[in-house]
């Protein structure tokens, strides 16, 4: 197993610019970086299409990045690899029901809940798919579940 080298661009990205090395809960720190980066990018672009493109590029690159980092560490889906969380937050920003502080906080919390609990089929794919695709896909699914929960919440709020 090679040591983590943040001078290595693959490690730097895979470990969320170093956020994945923070403890406890590196996935939470990586998600926080994803939220902060997304807020900054949304302020600049204000485009769902931009975030769809960013998600696709980040997902495709992430499959390679996460595979390489996992192989370097000789550990599948090491918890310190957080590029998958960051990419999932990009996906959420493409489809948020609203763009305000409340939505950002709810997006962060709902994503973390689904990423940690991993209800079916998220857990299935997390356990069955190996390599970068497996690392990336379970977080994308968690983001989809989180978005669905946000839309349900916003629907019920609109009824009040």
What pLDDT digit, counting tens, does each position of 115-158 carry? 999 999 999 999 999 899 999 999 999 999 999 999 999 999 98
The C-alpha R_g of the chain, in whole angstroms, comes to 15
At 88-98, the pLDDT tens digits run 999 999 999 99
pLDDT category, 83, cuts 50, 70, 90?
A: very high
Residue-wise pLDDT tens digits, 17-27: 999 999 999 99
Residue 99 pLDDT > 80, yes or no?
yes
User: For residue 151, how many C-alpha atoms fall within 13 Å in the half-sphere facing its CB?
Assistant: 9
pLDDT digits (tens, 9 = 90+) for 44-67: 999 999 999 999 999 999 999 999
In this prediction, residue 1 carries a pLDDT of 57
């Amino acid at each position: 197993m090679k040591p983590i080298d943040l001078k290595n661009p693959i490690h730097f990205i895979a470990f969320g610019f170093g956020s994945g090395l923070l403890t406890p809960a590196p996935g939470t720190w990586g998600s926080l970086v994803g939220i902060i980066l997304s807020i900054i990018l949304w302020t600049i672009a204000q485009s769902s299409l931009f975030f769809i493109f960013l998600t696709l590029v980040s997902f495709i690159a992430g499959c390679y990045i996460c595979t390489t980092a996992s192989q370097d560490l000789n550990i599948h889906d090491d918890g310190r690899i957080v590029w998958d969380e960051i990419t999932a937050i990009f996906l959420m920003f493409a489809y948020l029901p609203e763009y305000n502080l409340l939505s950002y906080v709810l997006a962060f919390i709902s994503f973390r809940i689904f990423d940690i609990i991993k209800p079916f089929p998220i857990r299935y794919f997390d356990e069955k798919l190996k390599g970068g695709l497996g690392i990336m896909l379970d977080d994308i699914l968690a983001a989809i579940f989180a978005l669905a929960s946000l839309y349900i919440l916003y629907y019920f709020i609109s009824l009040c």
